[in-house]
Structure 1
Amino acid sequence: MGPLHGIRVLELGSFIAGPFAGQLLADYGAEVIKVEPPRTGDPMRRWGITKDGESLWWPAIGRNKKSVTVDLRDARGQEVVRDLAASCDVVVENFRPGTMARWGLDYPALRAANPGIVVVHVSGFGQTGPNSGEAGFGSVAEAVGGIRHTTGSPGDTPARTGISLGDSLASLFAVIGTLAALTERGRSGLGQEVDVAIYESVFALMESILADYHAGGVLRTRSGSVLPGVAPSNVYPTADGAQVVIAANADTVFARLAGAMGRPELARDPRYATHQARGARMAELDALISAWTATRKSDDLIEELRRHGVPVGRINTAASILTDPHFAARDMILWRSTGHGADLPMNGVVPKFSRTPGEVERTGPALGADTDAVLTALAGASAERLARLHADGVV
């Protein structure tokens, strides 16, 4: 009984940007019906690291969803989807703009049968504008949105963050837009379209880069592990090979760090006593701190700094997260059985709700596992119609 219990979502599309939005809505209790191509399904079923030919990501990104197979390129399949949409609150799709219209599944067509429907589009460049019709994967949108220019080390090629950041950001904005549109529908009774561009989702996070350049004459670029002019705030080594981030750039916090180091005089030293002075001597200050942290094991170092009130955190890997007691205490590592009986760990539900918590009741379903039940209950399909659709490969 999550907070979105009673909301029905029809998920169209594949890969990450649309389906991750569907996963989040399902985490919060929405009934999410995922439409996939017959026989092949969403490529995410085989994407990334696989075991026995199946993706280890699919159980999570497909969790809590129902799988319905429909050939969207067949007129009969398009009719089925229109019938389903008539009883849904939300449609989430991430096809190239114009595709839904060619299939007779655009907003005007869906609204005709369901005036309250919210149609959420996720695309590389949005539904309008000169680039709207271009193919736009998340990696390209990250470049266009500006974040690739600021990611990596100075002088190096702009770097990827290591995850599909652009797609995931678009999914978050798709969920935000969905919730905002549903809230407004509660007042007006009417649905609307929500247009999420991946490059804009990236650009929305780019802070004040335009004003910095236009008014301040500063073009932000790659700075590696540091924030220019802010120190100490960097990655530091430990005696057991782990790395930690210490953020002690405020004057009072730096004084606490100096105390933890047994060097309280550093906080009074004119070279390090102020924010501006520390920023100007970032390299020498980081070298001084690194020499100290390198003599401590990571667990002991973290405990000592926390005792002194200094913000510190281990640079975690999957291996260390699996044994982290804080992750476990907050249900951020969920062990769930897959369709093959294997238990897999996956990320927990974010955020936490005090009264209507999100749940993961089901991992990614087998392809088409819910086709007949959903089409019978929501699309009014008779046994005879289903038999013909199956025979013709439409579902």
Structure 2
Amino acid sequence: MGQVAKRQGPLTDLRVIEMGQLLAGPFCGQLLADFGAEVIKLEQPGSGDPMREWGREKPHGKSLWWPVVARNKKSVTLNLREKQAQQIVRDLVAKSDILIENFRPGTMERWGLGYDVLSQINPKLVMVRVTGFGQSGPYSSQAGYGSIGEAMGGLRYVVGDPSTAPSRMGISIGDSLAATYAALGALMAVHARERTGRGQVVDSAIYEAVLAMMESLVTEYDQTGYVRERTGPILPNVAPSNVYPASDGQMILIAANQDTVFKRLAEAMGRPELATDPRYATHSARGAVQQELDDLISDWTRTVESGLLLDLMEKHGVPAGRIYRAPEMMEDPHFKARQNIIKVAHPIFGKLAMQNVAPRLSDTPGGVVHPGPELGEHTVEVLGGILGLGEDRLADLKAAGII
């Protein structure tokens, strides 16, 4: 029997079947599990989700990514290519609220698990489908990883320094964005179900999720022909807002692009006249001489130690901060006060640090009750407890390679 932990949050009345793997589907499941949904993750017997093996650092031969993306979930092994397993999915659907999958379009239909079939079994089912290109359109059948969606959605082209080729973000942002929109869509569909009594399909495409974050990029081109380019650490015409060097070699981000804030920065620099200089007095004027202004500010920050520089910015009400890595996050007093990094008990690692649940809810907060489970840890609990399969039946399924 798998571990039993008390779920918490606003979604404790929802049961979710997660049939995806890697990140786009599973991160959607993580978000729902963070807020209390019972997420039953179906994995291939013997191997499981490839995320169990992902990550650069693998102490004890174990992934450090898996405990995060699979936290709060239950693991059930099920060979989805087998008809008996597909029937088990149908039986679970009858007792569930949401199903998440991120296979290539058509896969679920080939298994007899399309929405047309599942909605007949459970008309209230919300089916969340996360793919590279969506369920329709000429590209829908193509393989679509997060990196391709980031490129097609416009993000890759604008990330990085203009002197280099387009860069990636250093995280799998395309997958995570699609998963976030998928979770949002799932909850909107559950809300609509309260009025209509029926579920629906949530179609979350990676490239569309990225495109949705691209601000006015398309509109600028449509109206003016302007194509956004890579601009490194700045946004064109938004000045000053950049990373500036301190005397001790530290880099401090200062954002003083609003007129009143720039005035306070000028006072902190001991150069109050800059705020009334026609070259710098307005947002548009500063944008026109962005490089000149950044050079002027850098010449000053290079004379100030980073701690003193931050103190000056705080004193004068100028937004500023260090660029954090994991070590800085672990030690920062604000992170500690808000419990942004938590320690979760793990059977191998002992106490495992990971980011806490976001956002915060005042009355029904989510939480992390356990890290990613062992492969098949909850198979007996789920199939026996929810579907009522007896020991003999479970033994037969295991012998046949179904579970």
Question: TM-score by structure 2 length?
Answer: 0.96
**Match for 1:285: what amino acid?**
L
Q: CA deviation at 1:294?
A: 2.1
Find the partner of 1:189 among 197, 206, 228.
197
Is 1:95 aligned to residue 95 of structure 2?
no
SS in 2 for 1:225: coil
Find the partner of 2:247 among 228, 239, 246.
239
Measured in 2, the distance between the counterparts of 1:276 and 1:111 equals 55
**Match for 1:6: what amino acid?**
D
1:282 aligns with 290
Find the partner of 1:121 among 98, 122, 129.
129
2:325 aligns with 317
SS in 2 for 1:215: helix
Q: CA deviation at 1:342?
A: 2.1
Q: CA deviation at 1:241?
A: 2.6
Deviations 1:40-76 (A, max 9, x none): 0111111012222211111111100000000001111
Bigger Cα displacement from structure 2, 174-183 vs 241-250 = 241-250
1:250 aligns with 258
Is 1:58 aligned to residue 66 of structure 2?
yes
Deviations 1:235-267 (A, max 9, x none): 111223322211111111100001111111111
SS in 1 for 2:380: helix
Deviations 1:173-214 (A, max 9, x none): 001101100000011111111000000000011111222112
1:333 aligns with 341
Measured in 2, the distance between the counterparts of 1:298 and 1:89 equals 52
Deviations 1:79-136 (A, max 9, x none): 1111111111000110000000111111111111111000000000000111100000
Residue 26 of structure 1 contacts residue 32 of structure 1 at CA under 8 Å; is this kept in 2?
yes
Structural mapping, 1:36-51, within 5 Å: 36-49=43-56, 50-51=58-59
* Structure 2 segments unaligned to the other structure (5+ residues): 1-7
Is 1:13 aligned to residue 32 of structure 2?
no
Measured in 2, the distance between the counterparts of 1:192 and 1:226 equals 42
**Match for 1:314: what amino acid?**
R
Measured in 2, the distance between the counterparts of 1:75 and 1:295 equals 71
Instruction: Determine what percentage of the aligned residue pairs are the same residue.
Output: 55
Residue 334 of structure 1 contacts residue 348 of structure 1 at CA under 8 Å; is this kept in 2?
yes
Bigger Cα displacement from structure 2, 223-232 vs 131-140 = 223-232
Deviations 1:221-248 (A, max 9, x none): 1111111111101111122332221111
**Match for 2:365: what amino acid?**
P
Q: CA deviation at 1:379?
A: 2.2
SS in 1 for 2:270: coil
- Are the structure 2 counterparts of residues 123 and 288 from structure 1 closer, same or farther at C-alpha, using a change threshold of 3 Å? same
2:36 aligns with 29
Is 1:211 aligned to residue 222 of structure 2?
no
**Match for 2:197: what amino acid?**
G
Measured in 2, the distance between the counterparts of 1:241 and 1:12 equals 48
2:355 aligns with 347
1:144 aligns with 152
Measured in 2, the distance between the counterparts of 1:112 and 1:383 equals 29
Moved over 6 A (4+): none
Q: CA deviation at 1:341?
A: 4.3
- Cα RMSD for the two superposed structures: 1.1
Measured in 2, the distance between the counterparts of 1:298 and 1:33 equals 48
Find the partner of 1:72 among 77, 80, 83.
80
Structural mapping, 1:259-270, within 5 Å: 259-270=267-278
Question: TM-score by structure 1 length?
Answer: 0.98
Is 1:381 aligned to residue 384 of structure 2?
no
Bigger Cα displacement from structure 2, 322-331 vs 169-178 = 322-331
Measured in 2, the distance between the counterparts of 1:264 and 1:46 equals 56
Measured in 2, the distance between the counterparts of 1:352 and 1:319 equals 24
**Match for 1:157: what amino acid?**
A
Residue 339 of structure 1 contacts residue 366 of structure 1 at CA under 8 Å; is this kept in 2?
no
Q: CA deviation at 1:286?
A: 0.7
Is 1:112 aligned to residue 124 of structure 2?
no
SS in 2 for 1:35: strand
- Are the structure 2 counterparts of residues 54 and 282 from structure 1 closer, same or farther at C-alpha, using a change threshold of 3 Å? same
Measured in 2, the distance between the counterparts of 1:16 and 1:56 equals 14
**Match for 1:258: what amino acid?**
A
Q: CA deviation at 1:378?
A: 1.7
Measured in 2, the distance between the counterparts of 1:177 and 1:93 equals 14
Count of matched residue positions in the alignment of Structure 1 and Structure 2: 395
Residue 242 of structure 1 contacts residue 315 of structure 1 at CA under 8 Å; is this kept in 2?
no
Measured in 2, the distance between the counterparts of 1:383 and 1:80 equals 15
1:3 aligns with 10
* Structure 1 segments unaligned to the other structure (5+ residues): none
SS in 2 for 1:121: strand
Bigger Cα displacement from structure 2, 299-308 vs 29-38 = 299-308
Measured in 2, the distance between the counterparts of 1:321 and 1:265 equals 37
Measured in 1, the distance between the counterparts of 2:181 and 2:350 equals 33
SS in 2 for 1:52: helix
